[in-house]
Structure 1
Amino acid sequence: MPRSRSILLATALATAAVGLSPLAASAAPPTRQDAFAAAAGEYGVPESVLLGVSYLESRWDTNGMSPSTSAGYGPMHLTDVAAANAGGTHHDDGTEDARGDSARPALLPRTPSADDVSAPSLHTAREAAALTGVDVATLRSDPVQNIRGGAALLAKYQRDLGVHSAKPADWYGAVARYSGATDTGSAGEFANEVFSTIAQGVDRVTDDGQHVRLAPTAVRPNTRQVTRLGLRVARAGEAECPADLGCEWLPAPYEQYGPGSGDYGNHDLANRPETQKINYIVIHDTEGTYDTTLNLIKDPTYVSWNYTLRSSDGHIAQHVKAKDVAWHAGNWYLNAKAIGLEHEGFAAQGTWFTEAMYRTSAKLVGYLAAKYQIPLDRQHILGHDNVPGTIPSTVRGMHWDPGPYWDWAHYFDLLHAPFRSTGTPLTGLVTVRPNYATNQLPFTGCTTAGQPCPARGSTSVVLRTEPRDDAPQLVDLGLHPDGTPGTMGVSDHSSRAETGQTFAVAERRGGWVAVWYLGQKGWFHEKDAIWSVGFVATPKKGRDTIPVYGRAYPEAAAYPADIPVQAVTPLQYSLLAGQKYSVGLITPSEYYRAVTFDQNDNHVVVRGQTQYLQIQFGHRVAFVNVDDVDVRPSFF
């Protein structure tokens, strides 16, 4: 677009925004592409740079102009922490004991503490308002003005560097500063991703139906500019990360805090994978700011996780070595065989995640999966909401993050392991795969109990008792012991399946497919699925029902005399004759005994003869004894 035309368009947009020109106000709204071109021309930002930065923040989506998990609004992710209403953390909600080891006293929930919201990266909308003359509320709610605000910030950052150039290559420093990163590694990683996006090009339709294109352009950016931003140099130290990510080592404390050998925290020393195979990576959402989350991990009396990822730029801090066991998933069997990643987010209504964080998270998970030979599928890459309760009494208190707005399909695309059909309607398995952008489910309770959530894409499908949209949802006796059906409450996944999860087909009818789920048939639209093939588990002939477990512990005879036997307790569900469930993996029975300070005391792995199958039993995975089931190809 010629500069004169872009300036005229930008002026018209600005005038319409403040209500000064009836003619401009009555004109057809500009396209998203036009808005980027106009803002770039108005503030002298290369259009490719503006598009690239916006893509790394939001993929050009509006997300209903609701806040991200780090208080960012709109295509340019302008932040306004006051409007986003920071709250407590999900670690303080419910009754889950993050350690999940019944051999030790439970780590009790805490009173929520105030979030640290002082970081400048949480207040960029205010700075953009001063630069554009547009009030903060409009910058939060109007995509066109939001884009103008982002362009104004980029232009200011360029001026602050004293660089005067129209060449995209000379905007590396301004892009790095836009990330909000406080260290050179993360700022550079963000800028590298932006310029990689410019080089590759992108062509997509946004969540609100806008077609936007960034033409591929070869650029060799001036990466030395990042050293002029006055940022600290983060030290990778002992961090276990890909070399090109801006990781740092911020160790969690392993220390005693009381008189007893069991009064210690906040993780356990181990020697994985030599002593136990690492089978899982668990995805969490902090529901607290990055700085607040780092303060939590420093507390030896609290819980722990292996990595924290910052939303604005994807920066990664590691706290617990992969060889050691962090206390994060609420299930000791899973904790002993998992690595936990916490992704920054703090407001209850902040329910979308930045592209920058998706990308660094995917790079980290890909690295860990390759290092520890963890398959890239939804049987091994779990959300916290997919981790089972350990025994019946713990099921209801398990956490539900990262929730129905984490885009699993996009995440696995970034992992280079996309969900693709491997079967036909006759091969017996189905993988949940709705269209994220258009799959806008009527959840409630994002901000106020019972009140509708803003319309936005979701990774979930709701299961019904019959093949019709008004049929009741299924019953989850763990979440609703009174037998009432599931609800549309955002945290109620009683009757909900997630993208990438694979279930055994029970029946098909009129464009609907039924799957076996928590001992029931659950129906959803075939259009929201792809066909798969694999193995299923079904009760052995003559067995009316078999027990389902939340942990794969050994039989009593496997325990040495000096180690108390851990009960093998079934959950409150039934797996009935004739039902089939998708098999995720086969696993030995193991219990990691680590109840005292210092690994050299009596930490030991107890192994039994019993073997278990992990199955996709409901929203969460579960385990069944191999001796209780027949395993067969899904198409038999």
Structure 2
Amino acid sequence: MTAGGAVACAALLLPLLSAGPSATAERAPADSLQGTFAAAAAEYGVPKSVLLGVSYLQSRWDAHGGAASVTGGYGPMHLTDARTAIAEAPHHSHGAEDARGDDARPARSVVEAALPDPGELPPRLRTLERAAEVSGIDADRLRDSVAANVRGGAALLAQAQRELGGPAGADPEDWYGAVARYSGADDVATATTYADDVFDVIRTGQSRTTDSGQRVELEPDPAVSPDRTQVRRLGLRTADTGRTECPPTVACEWIPAPYEEFGAGDYGNHDQANRPASQSVDYIVVHDTEASWDTTLQLVQNPQYVSWQYSLRSSDGHIAQHVPLEDVAWHAGNWFVNAKSVGLEHEGFLVSPDAWYTEAMYRTSARLVRYLAKRYDIPLDRQHILGHDNVPGTTTATIRGMHTDPGPYWDWAHYFKLLGRPFTPSAGPDSSVVTIRPEYTRHQPLYTGCVKAGEACAPHGSGAVRLHTAPSESAPLVKDIGLRPGGQDSTTGVNDTGARASTGQQYAVAERRGDWTAIWYLGQKAWFHDPRTQPVAVGARERVLTPKDTLAEVPVYGRAYPEASAYPAGVPVQAVSPLPYKLLAGQKYVVGDRVPGEYLYATTFDTAGHKVVRGEEMYYEIQFGHRVAFVKASDVRVLS
């Protein structure tokens, strides 16, 4: 959990089809979800395509079993009732890492943010209350009944249309302003981007099976062309774009993090740099927060706190940039990764790990990542697009404190589909490398500790696969000696990453037995159930590495630092400290980048003394466990 340094806690989803249903499709039964949308649209005079489009952008028509989203939104229409969600949600955090992750400086840790006072919640987090007023439907029913929730959303759209003086009726082009109002955005650019996304869904059409097994279809209307000037009638502010570095397809605001000196030589909350001239930007790190939007912005503007480059708002996908891309933010808990990465914080103050994210935020996040990847030539794969939970500890002592966000419920498969890089097979089912890819909605492994330690979490789709010591569900989970130096087994805890492989991650196959596949993981064989009839992994064609023939084992590192002889006078030598794991002879791991040892020395407010130390020693990044790691190129040989 965390957020780059801030706050954090929170697969193959059934594929989205761009083609709509055929003209001969049968009329949906009235008691189906498709029929529910049709009935609510007719009742409130809202075009059915508009109602379906708005719901898709909020929830992709899922009900999430009545669970609230990360911002307290309920049901397919994401009607927000953050007061109730806050009252019902457990508040817990995980991890005590140093956000900077730099041994040369005192630790800068993340503090747990307080939940907001329910009385101070903005209107965008209280739309269920408004829906109850305009529809006359009881608030409990709006939360718990899918049909009531859809009706409540339709009532809100109809009310917005009336307030804007727009005509009722079935022409979706007349509803652009009402759709923009539904977003809850307080600025013109975000409301416009949200409405544009809804009408893009209407133009292209969508079809999918929801988490409750309902098939919902929105026929494409490629000719729809709404009047985008309607948004001017909303009376919204114009956000300050300032020094933002964002693609034109998102709404981006400049809310800078401070670079200030305070105390006895201390300063915050990031380091000024000159990337990519000084160092390449190789990673994008996905975090989620444990604070409200307002609290998140207050934290990142505190010079004594930590920092990240971007924050993303869940309800409407709005983006705020805080740190210029050329500078180094303190967010990942690993200084080597911080110096070469961009950190994205995704809003979520409700820390129940089974809370969910809106499609609006997934989409704007994916657009931002595509933009950053193109700008810095970052490959769109899971060794470069990391979750905070994939960033390694820097030393043995830091492993246990590393954060675990965005966790097993982040939908990596859907995210990468939006990135334009879906996880598809590149080799046959008997390949020597696999890409983890369970079907998100149907894959619901048991997790515990969402509310209380040891108690089962509510069933929920997951992109993570659990790993055993033998090909049996009753076999113990594999051990992570970094997390548990005493050698205890890993657990089903939602924050326990010790026996977990995540969607998109790639591993070398160690063995196969019937419906079980073993991969090399943390220096051992790790088994997962992988039946041919419902596989959770697909074949991949990737390079792997193994120890050189003369070596029985090689050390594994959490950072790729230079050799001692590379450091100039005045720059303290940083220890090349191995982690407690070993890569043993005969084992293989998928290869990522080949990189030189690098260290950014930046311990003073005056940047004149900052230096990038670059050594001769080369390293390979590997997918070693749930987290990535590094090995010295001189210790291994690479195999095709």
Normalising by the smaller structure, the TM-score range is: over 0.9
| Matching of residue 137 in structure 1 with residue 140 in structure 2 | yes
| Matching of residue 178 in structure 1 with residue 192 in structure 2 | no
Q: Quote the Cα distance in structure 2 between the aligned partners of 1:311 and 1:225.
A: 24
| Matching of residue 393 in structure 1 with residue 390 in structure 2 | no
Q: Which moved more, 1:569-578 or 1:424-433?
A: 424-433
Residue 574 (structure 1) aligns with: 582
Alignment partner of 1:224 out of 215, 229, 240 = 229
Residue 516 (structure 1) aligns with: 520
Residue 22 (structure 1) aligns with: none
Residue 614 (structure 2) aligns with: 607
- Unpaired segments of 5 or more residues in structure 1? 1-27
| Matching of residue 431 in structure 1 with residue 435 in structure 2 | yes
Write out aligned runs for 1:204-353 (5 A): 204-217=208-221, 218-260=223-265, 263-349=266-352, 351-353=355-357
Q: Which moved more, 1:304-313 or 1:436-445?
A: 436-445
SS at match of 2:571: coil
Deviation at 1:399, TM superposition (A): 0.5
Deviation at 1:450, TM superposition (A): 2.0
Q: Quote the Cα distance in structure 2 between the aligned partners of 1:400 and 1:312.
A: 23
Deviation at 1:534, TM superposition (A): 1.2
| Matching of residue 532 in structure 1 with residue 537 in structure 2 | no
Residue 37 (structure 2) aligns with: 36
1:423-453 C-alpha deviation (Å, 9 max, x unpaired): 1244411000000110112111222222222
Q: Given that residues 269 and 598 in structure 1 are in contact (C-alpha distance below 8 angstroms), is that contact kept between their aligned partners in structure 2?
A: no
Return closer, same or farther for 1:623/1:88 CA change in 2, 3 Å cut-off. Answer: farther
Q: Quote the Cα distance in structure 2 between the aligned partners of 1:54 and 1:231.
A: 23
Deviation at 1:631, TM superposition (A): 0.8
SS at match of 1:614: strand
Amino acid in structure 2 at the alignment position of 1:140: R
The structure whose RCO (Cα within 8 Å, separation 6+) is larger is 2
Residue 450 (structure 1) aligns with: 454
| Matching of residue 475 in structure 1 with residue 479 in structure 2 | yes
Q: Given that residues 99 and 110 in structure 2 are in contact (C-alpha distance below 8 angstroms), is that contact kept between their aligned partners in structure 1?
A: no
Percent identical residues = 59
SS at match of 2:53: helix
Residue 51 (structure 1) aligns with: 52
SS at match of 1:507: strand
Q: Given that residues 272 and 322 in structure 1 are in contact (C-alpha distance below 8 angstroms), is that contact kept between their aligned partners in structure 2?
A: yes
Deviation at 1:29, TM superposition (A): 8.0
| Matching of residue 565 in structure 1 with residue 565 in structure 2 | no
Deviation at 1:175, TM superposition (A): 0.5
Q: Given that residues 89 and 288 in structure 1 are in contact (C-alpha distance below 8 angstroms), is that contact kept between their aligned partners in structure 2?
A: no
Amino acid in structure 2 at the alignment position of 1:377: D
Return closer, same or farther for 1:233/1:112 CA change in 2, 3 Å cut-off. Answer: closer
Q: Given that residues 69 and 287 in structure 1 are in contact (C-alpha distance below 8 angstroms), is that contact kept between their aligned partners in structure 2?
A: no
SS at match of 2:501: strand
Following TM superposition, where does structure 1 have runs of at least 4 consecutive aligned residues deviating by more than 3 angstroms?
86-90
Alignment partner of 2:468 out of 451, 464, 467 = 464
SS at match of 1:396: helix
Alignment partner of 2:198 out of 194, 197, 219 = 194
SS at match of 2:590: strand
| Matching of residue 165 in structure 1 with residue 163 in structure 2 | no
1:390-435 C-alpha deviation (Å, 9 max, x unpaired): 0001000100001111111111111111111111244411000000
Q: Quote the Cα distance in structure 1 between the aligned partners of 2:147 and 2:446.
A: 27
Deviation at 1:481, TM superposition (A): 2.0
Q: Quote the Cα distance in structure 1 between the aligned partners of 2:581 and 2:142.
A: 49
RMSD across aligned C-alpha pairs, in angstroms? Answer: 1.5
Residue 100 (structure 2) aligns with: 99
Q: Given that residues 66 and 454 in structure 1 are in contact (C-alpha distance below 8 angstroms), is that contact kept between their aligned partners in structure 2?
A: no
Q: Given that residues 94 and 109 in structure 1 are in contact (C-alpha distance below 8 angstroms), is that contact kept between their aligned partners in structure 2?
A: no
Residue 588 (structure 1) aligns with: 596
Q: Which moved more, 1:77-86 or 1:455-464?
A: 77-86
Q: Quote the Cα distance in structure 2 between the aligned partners of 1:465 and 1:138.
A: 46
TM-score (norm 1): 0.93
SS at match of 1:548: strand
Q: Quote the Cα distance in structure 2 between the aligned partners of 1:587 and 1:182.
A: 44
TM-score (norm 2): 0.92
Instruction: Count how many residue pairs are aligned between Structure 1 and Structure 2.
Output: 602
Residue 83 (structure 1) aligns with: 84
Deviation at 1:88, TM superposition (A): 9.6
Return closer, same or farther for 1:211/1:88 CA change in 2, 3 Å cut-off. Answer: closer
Amino acid in structure 2 at the alignment position of 1:595: T
Return closer, same or farther for 1:110/1:249 CA change in 2, 3 Å cut-off. Answer: same
Q: Given that residues 88 and 346 in structure 1 are in contact (C-alpha distance below 8 angstroms), is that contact kept between their aligned partners in structure 2?
A: no
Q: Given that residues 69 and 311 in structure 1 are in contact (C-alpha distance below 8 angstroms), is that contact kept between their aligned partners in structure 2?
A: yes
1:560-582 C-alpha deviation (Å, 9 max, x unpaired): 12110000001111211111111
1:236-281 C-alpha deviation (Å, 9 max, x unpaired): 2210001231101111000112132xx1000000000011110000
Deviation at 1:520, TM superposition (A): 1.1
Amino acid in structure 2 at the alignment position of 1:621: V
Deviation at 1:585, TM superposition (A): 1.3
Q: Quote the Cα distance in structure 2 between the aligned partners of 1:109 and 1:289.
A: 15
1:528-567 C-alpha deviation (Å, 9 max, x unpaired): 0010011111111131211100000000111012110000
1:447-482 C-alpha deviation (Å, 9 max, x unpaired): 222222221211100011111222211001122222
Q: Given that residues 440 and 463 in structure 2 are in contact (C-alpha distance below 8 angstroms), is that contact kept between their aligned partners in structure 1?
A: yes
1:7-37 C-alpha deviation (Å, 9 max, x unpaired): xxxxxxxxxxxxxxxxxxxxx9811001101
Q: Given that residues 72 and 350 in structure 2 are in contact (C-alpha distance below 8 angstroms), is that contact kept between their aligned partners in structure 1?
A: yes
- Unpaired segments of 5 or more residues in structure 2? 1-28
Alignment partner of 1:413 out of 400, 417, 433 = 417
Deviation at 1:378, TM superposition (A): 0.6
Deviation at 1:93, TM superposition (A): 4.3
Amino acid in structure 1 at the alignment position of 2:145: D
